[in-house]
Chains A and B, each alone.
Chain A
Amino acid sequence: MSNPTGGIDPSLGLEWQTDRVRRAGLRETSLLTLNTSQLGVGLGLAGGILFLHALWRFLDHLGEFPRLPLNLASWAILFVTVALVTVALRAAGFLFSTKLFWAMVSSLTAAAVLDFAAIWQHVGDGLYPTSAIAVGAVLLGASSLRPAREIVIASAILGAGLTLGVLVPGPAEDQLGPLLMFLVLAIVPPVIAASILGSYRRHILLALDRVLTQSAIAAPVVLTAGVLGSAELAELDHEVEELFDDVATGREPLPLTPERADQASSLATDLRRHLVAGHQNTWLSHAVSESEFLSDHVTVDDAKGLSARLDQLQRDGLLSGLWMLMSSAARMPATARVSLVERKEQPRSDVRRVLIAIDVDGISRSRVEAITWASLRRVGRYTDTATPLGLRVDIETEVPPPSEQQR
């Protein structure tokens, strides 16, 4: 069962964010509690209610079961499983390992099988499966700790088993309706929980990615190294310092070994690259390359660094618009290309007209949320056209000429 006090979801895919958040000076635990403190509580509670209801029905008929030891064994297995899993989860810091999960599922299967054996061909007497239904409640409680897919698979196994267990003994027509209802009560909540959790996790990751990426728009007008480049330069300097230290203190014999000489040579190359080429990228490239969500699907073509001349409102609009365009195609493999060029004829001398073209392949205009257009409007006047593969947005905007650029 899940536990309200916390739990780490290995499936949430927060690993890739961990690095950036660690750089933000946060402890990993605070990132992990993002999902843990709240996710399990409600589901565990709902599972608990369903579990108690099944137990209640069992206790109601305690004297009528023809093979009571089997029922008792089934419930005993269920209780022991829940207790052991809870203890194991606590010990493991609420990391639900794959092994433990499938061990739990097989143990639950055993409980369900015993329950069916206990009432085999006695359903007509007004006896219905009890612990077999409670198995679904246990799955529901565990659903926040495992990937949605696995919960669905386990529910499908349980569902197939329950259906067979119900239909094979050939129950009276009168009993079919209630049996169906119990089936639904056991299978559906875990499946719905799993599917909602899947969307919920995706939303959290997107929100986090969005918020972290958003910080790039506050970059200064000059070209910067970005967060990744900044950290690399500092690390590089430190490595060089260590090499010099080894040489200075005589730990390293002179002349150097070929390996160390190679290291010095590659350090020099990297350092030059950083010092000379580190200024090449604008905030837009940084934002895109730092975003897990955008980096693989968006290419930026901005050879003249025009995006750096956009003011912060325009930057925000461009990044938000791009982000929402891509997220409206979240289920499809959409790709986008952003290119910025200066217009050839410049009607005024005090501003420069810049054309921004966003080509997105793999989305349709009808899927784009209205708020996207509001964002793009902040950048400048835009027109959107349908292309054979998707959508093209052309934005014409005005930026100050380079000479007036605030540094």
Chain B
Amino acid sequence: MSGWRGDDASEPVRRQFESIDRFSIQQSRLAYRMARSFGFTGVLGAAIALLIPGAVDGAALVWCYLTLALLAASHVVIARYPHGLSVVAVYAVGIICLATVGIAAGPEPSPSASAAIVMIAGWGVGSIGAVLSSTWAQVILLVYSIATTVTIATLLGADIGHEVALSAPVLVGLGWAVTTIFGLWLTRANPRVMNRISSIGATYLIERRASEAEAQRHRDARLLHDTALATLTLLAHAGRGVDDAAMRDQAASDRDLLRRLREGESPTPRSSGAYTLTHTAELQLSGTLEAVKARFAHSGLEVAWHGSGQLGLEQSRLDAFILALTECIENVRRHAGVDEAHVTLSDDGTVVRGVVTDAGIGFDPASIAGSSLGFQQSVIARTQDIGGTVRVFSAPGAGTTVVLEVPK
């Protein structure tokens, strides 16, 4: 496997924390937006309640609305500039608003005016409860704010009924309780969730490296895959043309190699079943093969050599063999309608074998036998001249495999 760049594992993890910080900021903005939502609700509720006849007089209503508008504006500010100063601004404007509405409603406010005062104190100002629970300083400010608004609402006589459950302190406290709990929930949940996410990220990173290393190991097993592919190709033609017992032996041998790979070994087989395995690079004739490959690349056909063994043929027969192979590839280029051909070479000590495979349109070998003079002469005759045989496996739509075998 290739080395990892920046092998220091802490690096990516550290950056994960950076990106998590950004999400923490977003979450805290969310709390401020929540404060704005509660604040708007309180202001809007109070505005409607003050409109109800009997709440406040006409001229005083204008002053009330002015301060309510100011309070709404401070809530816009708090969501836009999530900062302690904005919180203080909301509180200050809220107290002014409470005082104005209280004066306008008179010493004994009507139930509607009381409802307006309670809504301003509980949510208009109490909305800041949503953002006042992360530090001790904030909690002190929170307690102070609750105490002052509850006191003001009580002094203004904003009780809706005579019973305790409808008294100003209880209702205002209820408003503060809801916003504060919402805020607490958001701030407490955040770090834990983010910790878990980052631990998932760290685990995933490790897993990713392992799985890519594993893939690399699979990919490095080139020779193994070459024989597996050759066997698969034979099986793709239902295994016809090959002796049954030999086919099964080959499959068993390849299966064992794949199993060893799966179980964590990196098998480097010298042979599998009937195939002797060697890297293409070790082939004496690799230069020749590269030349053939380059030639077809010019005409738009990609030739992939799957190397297997040095071909133990004397030069003249080898040349004929390669020529026959090249003609097969030429046929792929002309007829198959694909841009890729695979050639697998092997030498098992008694037979030199070349398999040319494509995934093209295919044809029915029976219909073409004898009639295709070009193939007859260029491939079959040439191979037979050096004592070899040619077998063609194909069916319309199923690609074509040509197997050339030359005994040594």
Q: Show the binding face of A for B, using Cβ within 8 Å.
A: 20-21, 23-26, 30-31, 33-35, 37-39, 41-43, 45-46, 49-50, 53, 56-57, 60-61, 126, 173-178, 180-181, 184-185, 188-189, 192-193, 195-196, 199-200, 203-204, 206-208, 210-212, 214-222, 224-227, 229-231, 233-234, 237-238, 240-241, 243-245, 247-250, 254-258, 260-262, 264-265, 267-269, 271-272, 274-276, 278, 311-312, 316, 320, 324, 371, 406-407
B209 within 8 A of A: yes
- 21 residue pairs A–B, Cβ–Cβ below 8 Å: A31-B200, A57-B166, A60-B164, A173-B54, A177-B49, A177-B110, A177-B112, A180-B48, A181-B45, A188-B38, A207-B197, A210-B23, A211-B201, A225-B219, A230-B214, A231-B211, A233-B218, A247-B251, A249-B252, A268-B233, A275-B219
Q: How far is the CB of B391 from chain A (nearest CB, A)?
A: 14
Q: Once the chains bind, are B236 and A268 in contact (CB under 8 Å)?
A: yes
Segment with Cβ contacts to A, from B9-17, B91-99, B286-294, B314-322: B9-17
Interface SS of chain B: helix, strand, loop or mixed? helix
User: Given A34-B196, A43-B185, A206-B23, are A218 and B111 also a contact pair (CB < 8 Å)?
Assistant: no
Residues of A within 8 A of B239 (CB): 247, 254-256, 261
Q: Once the chains bind, are B204 and A238 in contact (CB under 8 Å)?
A: no
Query: How far apart are the CA atoms of A335 and B232 in the complex, in Å?
Result: 42
Query: How far apart are the CA atoms of A220 and B4 in the complex, in Å?
Result: 5
Chain B 203-230 residues near chain A, CB threshold 8 A: 203-205, 207-209, 211-212, 214-216, 218-219, 222, 225, 228-229
Q: Once the chains bind, are B186 and A25 in contact (CB under 8 Å)?
A: no
Chain B 1-50 residues near chain A, CB threshold 8 A: 1-6, 11-12, 15-16, 19-20, 22-23, 26-27, 30, 33-34, 37-38, 41, 45, 48-49
Q: Once the chains bind, are A214 and B201 in contact (CB under 8 Å)?
A: yes
Q: Show the binding face of B for A, using Cβ within 8 Å.
A: 1-6, 11-12, 15-16, 19-20, 22-23, 26-27, 30, 33-34, 37-38, 41, 45, 48-49, 52-55, 110-116, 118-119, 160-166, 170-171, 174, 177-178, 181-182, 184-186, 188-189, 192-194, 196-198, 200-201, 203-205, 207-209, 211-212, 214-216, 218-219, 222, 225, 228-229, 231-233, 235-240, 244, 247-249, 251-252, 254-255, 258-259, 261-262, 304, 342, 359, 398-399
Query: How far apart are the CA atoms of A56 and B200 in the complex, in Å?
Result: 45
Q: How far is the CB of B394 from chain A (nearest CB, A)?
A: 12
**Which one of A23, A214, A406 has the highest number of Cβ atoms from chain B below 10 Å of its Cβ?**
A214
Q: How far is the CB of A14 from chain B (nearest CB, A)?
A: 11
Q: Among B52, B198, B209, B262, which residue has its beta carbon within 8 angstroms of that of A176?
A: B52
Q: Once the chains bind, are B304 and A37 in contact (CB under 8 Å)?
A: no
User: Given A178-B115, A207-B23, are A272 and B193 also a contact pair (CB < 8 Å)?
Assistant: no
In the complex, what residue of chain B is closest to A229 when comparing beta carbons?
B215
Residues of A within 8 A of B48 (CB): 180
Query: How far apart are the CA atoms of A92 and B301 in the complex, in Å?
Result: 59
- List the 9 shortest-distance A-B pairs measured between CB atoms, nearest first: A42-B185, A177-B112, A211-B201, A230-B215, A38-B189, A248-B252, A177-B115, A265-B236, A244-B255
Residues of B within 8 A of A311 (CB): 5-6
In the complex, what residue of chain B is closest to A230 when comparing beta carbons?
B215
Q: Once the chains bind, are A177 and B238 in contact (CB under 8 Å)?
A: no
Q: Once the chains bind, are B342 and A272 in contact (CB under 8 Å)?
A: yes
In the complex, what residue of chain B is closest to A21 when comparing beta carbons?
B200
Q: Among B2, B114, B248, B249, which residue has its beta carbon within 8 angstroms of that of A220?
A: B2
User: Given A181-B118, A215-B208, are A57 and B225 also a contact pair (CB < 8 Å)?
Assistant: no
Q: Once the chains bind, are A312 and B165 in contact (CB under 8 Å)?
A: no
Residues of B within 8 A of A175 (CB): 111
Q: Among A45, A195, A262, A324, which residue has its beta carbon within 8 angstroms of that of B37?
A: A195
Q: Once the chains bind, are B232 and A56 in contact (CB under 8 Å)?
A: no
Residues of B within 8 A of A23 (CB): 204, 207, 211
Q: Among A199, A206, A316, which residue has its beta carbon within 8 angstroms of that of B15?
A: A316
Residues of A within 8 A of B248 (CB): 247-248, 250, 254
Q: Once the chains bind, are B116 and A177 in contact (CB under 8 Å)?
A: yes
In the complex, what residue of chain B is closest to A174 when comparing beta carbons?
B111
Query: How far apart are the CA atoms of A407 and B2 in the complex, in Å?
Result: 6
User: Given A237-B258, A278-B219, are A269 and B359 also a contact pair (CB < 8 Å)?
Assistant: yes
Query: How far apart are the CA atoms of A174 and B388 in the complex, in Å?
Result: 110
Query: How far apart are the CA atoms of A198 and B382 in the complex, in Å?
Result: 74
In the complex, what residue of chain A is closest to B205 when comparing beta carbons?
A215
Q: Once the chains bind, are B203 and A217 in contact (CB under 8 Å)?
A: no
Count CB-based A-B contacts (< 8 Å): 326
Residues of A within 8 A of B186 (CB): 42, 196, 200
Residues of A within 8 A of B342 (CB): 272
Residues of A within 8 A of B178 (CB): 46, 49-50, 189
Q: Among A211, A217, A245, A268, which residue has its beta carbon within 8 angstroms of that of B204?
A: A211
Q: Once the chains bind, are B236 and A312 in contact (CB under 8 Å)?
A: no
Query: How far apart are the CA atoms of A324 and B23 in the complex, in Å?
Result: 11
Residues of A within 8 A of B115 (CB): 177-178, 180-181
Q: How far is the CB of A127 from chain B (nearest CB, A)?
A: 10
Q: How far is the CB of B264 from chain A (nearest CB, A)?
A: 12
In the complex, what residue of chain A is closest to B11 when comparing beta carbons?
A312
User: Given A26-B203, A177-B52, are A255 and B240 also a contact pair (CB < 8 Å)?
Assistant: yes
Q: How far is the CB of A258 from chain B (nearest CB, A)?
A: 7
Q: Once the chains bind, are B45 and A173 in contact (CB under 8 Å)?
A: no
Residues of A within 8 A of B112 (CB): 173-174, 176-178, 180
**Which one of A193, A311, A324 has the highest number of Cβ atoms from chain B below 10 Å of its Cβ?**
A193
Q: Among B2, B177, B204, which residue has its beta carbon within 8 angstroms of that of A49?
A: B177
Query: How far apart are the CA atoms of A219 and B55 in the complex, in Å?
Result: 69
Q: How far is the CB of B148 from chain A (nearest CB, A)?
A: 21
User: Given A192-B34, A237-B262, are A60 and B165 also a contact pair (CB < 8 Å)?
Assistant: yes
In the complex, what residue of chain B is closest to A241 when comparing beta carbons?
B258
Query: How far apart are the CA atoms of A237 and B204 in the complex, in Å?
Result: 23
Q: How far is the CB of B406 from chain A (nearest CB, A)?
A: 24
**Which one of B3, B22, B37 has the highest number of Cβ atoms from chain A below 10 Å of its Cβ?**
B22
Q: Among B182, B197, B251, which residue has its beta carbon within 8 angstroms of that of A208?
A: B197
In the complex, what residue of chain A is closest to B4 when comparing beta carbons?
A220
User: Given A30-B196, A176-B52, A271-B229, are A200 and B27 also a contact pair (CB < 8 Å)?
Assistant: yes
Residues of B within 8 A of A230 (CB): 211-212, 214-215
Query: How far apart are the CA atoms of A12 and B235 in the complex, in Å?
Result: 47
Residues of B within 8 A of A193 (CB): 182
Q: How far is the CB of B82 from chain A (nearest CB, A)?
A: 14
Residues of B within 8 A of A37 (CB): 192
In the complex, what residue of chain B is closest to A216 when comparing beta carbons?
B208
Q: Once the chains bind, are B30 and A247 in contact (CB under 8 Å)?
A: no
Q: How far is the CB of A47 from chain B (nearest CB, A)?
A: 9
